[in-house]
A and B are shown apart, each in its own frame.
Chain A
Amino acid sequence: MMLLSVGCSHRTAPVDVREKIAFHHDQLTRALEEIPARFQCEAVILSTCNRVEIYLARPEADPVLPQDAVAAYLAELHGAPRTSLLPFLYEHRQGEAVHHLFRVIASLDSLLVGEGQIAGQVKRAYERANECGSIGPVLHTLFQHAHQVAKRVRSETGIARGHVSVSSAAVDYVRQVFDRFDDKSVLVIGAGKIGELALRHLRALGPERIWVSNRSSEKASSIALGCGGVAIPWDQLDDVLSRADIVLSATGAAEPIMTLERYQKILSRRTSGPVVILDIAVPRDFDPRIHDGDRTCLFNIDDLKRIREQTLHDRLAHVEPAEAIVAEEVQRFLKDWSRRRHGLVIARLYQESEARRQAIVERLFSRLNGRLSDADRAQIEGAFRLLQNQFLHGPISALAEESHESGSHTLLDALRKLFRLHD
């Protein structure tokens, strides 16, 4: 087997380089057609915002796949000078390539360790290669195994526990206060880019109604239209605030829009349960003194980011066990693959030898036709079989030992050449 991965990631290349060699839909299709033809190999291309990697494989150990040629192809496809890419590219071969893929899919090489997107991205890369017909026995087996590794790491370690996005962290806090959401009202005040993302997460909870209030009524109507909510005039903000259960505030106001005094007046009119305020504006929209953890739970952007930091910190404790699983699975994959390849060669060697023995014995029997008794025939046949078995015993034992011990294919390749065995 020959396996090579070439690429760059957030660890080795700045975003402008990654952008330059990222594969768009059409480029991906083209590359998945051209690479197998050009390099006589199987190919899978993983292209995400944090990494671009090409996995190449051949069932045979040689000829060696050249990294330079792959880099040259990348440069050619993206219209960039080859020398400008080379410093940022890494390559992994054989077991190292397997190890790298398993680390990538287990999210150990991700920017946010333990994030769940990468496993889906690897899966899509594999499926795409499958659709384009650029996948063969090696990469098929490798990527199938990689998905099992990702599942194992996620289920056996806590590396994927907790949330790392601000929006998910906000929902975590909301869930500590509320149990059901189909009778809740969400009030959105202002809404920037991050506000829209947080609103999407809140909408996923299925609230009964969404109110949107903005200084600009046009903007409020536009956001309300986008989220199935109702636009509320800015001067009615206090009224809806006294009735809302969840408030998402993300205005661009330079000063807090809600002072303690103003909020206390609103609270005195409130008859329903607690309110959760997610103040993700910078500078903050709500006076932090309104937070009491009982009637009003106020969380600002720093609180939400703290969850992310804590989650990432907690996940680090699970990196070592996850790495151990990856290392174990790499060994398992290489051994399985080796056994599989060795098993095929042993079977082929035995079949070839058996066919030749039978042909020779048949020829001998036909020459000696009528001069041999059944007992003579059986003795001759037995002698030839014994000779065949004794002759094959050494090579087969050595092959079996190689498959169990080293995982290399030196002897395997030698035997294939010596005995002219072909797949």
Chain B
Amino acid sequence: MPIERVTFLCFAASYALALGLELLLLLRPHWPLRLLAVLAATAGLLAQTLFMIGQHVSFASATGALLFPAWVLAVFYLTGSFHHRRLAWGIFVLPVVLGLTLLARAVGPSAAESPGVVEAAAGDARAVWRILHIVFFVLSAVGICVGFIASVMYLVQAQRLKTKAVPGKGLRLLSLERLETMNRRALAWAFPLLTVGLLLGIAQMVHEGVPFQGWSDPRILTTGLLWVVFALVLYLRYGFHLRGRRVALLTILAFGLLLVTLVTSHNAPGGGP
């Protein structure tokens, strides 16, 4: 089949099937179901890769900015399924993969609604700044997504502990310590990337002489708010030893802002986060 004929539906359906099988695994923990879930997700990943190549999906587009983290998280799901075979891993990762995929479909049906990175790079030297700005921002988005997944898992595990659920019954999750570490590392990687991405964006705007449209500009507002929340999480975490549930909730808030940023930035005039 020509790769141009691979559609959103191909990989979204594969991820949905994988998620359905993971849910079924909760009721019937049989290894063939897990194998089928992994195969379905692998098929989805392959289809998504072909789609992104075939459709020349640009990072600079809303579609690309959402599909790239989804792609990384699909890989994250597959590696996690290998390492944490007995845990309810897919239940938390696949909804994010599927959600980002569907959001990408909703916000940008066309793959090239803004200039592609490659094309832009070929245009002039200014595009280098733009490429770096987008790459850093998308990579930080991946970190925030991982932090979000770890935070949701943390809250569920903490709730299980709070209700003193019998270990080994129901959802099997990583320990609180492991989830907190995962969240901390994800944020520690994502924050510098986000900061550099933002600085590069500002530098690009200054260099191109784009006028500052004020704090009411959705791009400025959401991105600035995202950065502030992020900085706040890290400040509270390291400055006040804030841990556990509250850090998890703030991370979830950051993830929500990230989604808003990705959607609003690309729908705003000028494009780009």
Interface residues of A (CB under 8 A from B): 161-162, 169, 172-173, 175-180, 271, 273-274, 291-295, 297, 299, 303, 306-307, 310-311, 314
Residues of B within 8 Å of A314, CB to CB, are 169
Number of B residues near A (Cβ < 8 Å) is 24
Are B159 and A293 neighbours in the complex by a CB distance under 8 Å?
A: yes
Are A294 and B244 neighbours in the complex by a CB distance under 8 Å?
A: yes
Are B177 and A179 neighbours in the complex by a CB distance under 8 Å?
A: yes
7 contacts between A and B (CB under 8 A): A161-B168, A175-B167, A176-B176, A273-B243, A274-B243, A293-B159, A310-B166
**Nearest Cβ in chain A — how far from B55, in angstroms?**
41
CA distance A162 to B244 in the complex (A): 28
Are B245 and A173 neighbours in the complex by a CB distance under 8 Å?
A: no
CA distance A311 to B167 in the complex (A): 10
Residues of B within 8 Å of A274, CB to CB, are 176-177, 243-244
CA distance A177 to B178 in the complex (A): 8
Which residue, of B163, B173, B175, has the highest number of chain A Cβ atoms within 10 A?
B175
**Nearest Cβ in chain A — how far from B186, in angstroms?**
16
Are B245 and A294 neighbours in the complex by a CB distance under 8 Å?
A: yes
Residues of B within 8 Å of A299, CB to CB, are 164
Is B157 positioned at the interface, with any CB of A under 8 Å from its CB?
A: yes
Residues of B within 8 Å of A297, CB to CB, are 161
Are A295 and B167 neighbours in the complex by a CB distance under 8 Å?
A: no
Is B241 positioned at the interface, with any CB of A under 8 Å from its CB?
A: yes
Given A176-B175, A178-B175, A274-B244, A292:B162 Cβ within 8 A: yes
Chain A residue with minimal CB distance to B167?
Answer: A172
Are A177 and B168 neighbours in the complex by a CB distance under 8 Å?
A: no
The 8 A CB mask of B226-258 against A (1 = contact, 0 = none) is 000000000000000101110000000000000
**Nearest Cβ in chain B — how far from A313, in angstroms?**
10
Is B75 positioned at the interface, with any CB of A under 8 Å from its CB?
A: no
- Beyond the given pairs A176-B173, A273-B244, A293-B160, 12 more chain A to chain B contacts, judged by CB atoms under 8 angstroms and listed by A's residue number, are A161-B168, A172-B167, A176-B175, A177-B177, A179-B178, A179-B181, A273-B177, A293-B163, A294-B245, A295-B243, A310-B169, A311-B166
CA distance A414 to B182 in the complex (A): 75
CA distance A162 to B180 in the complex (A): 26
Residues of A within 8 Å of B159, CB to CB, are 293
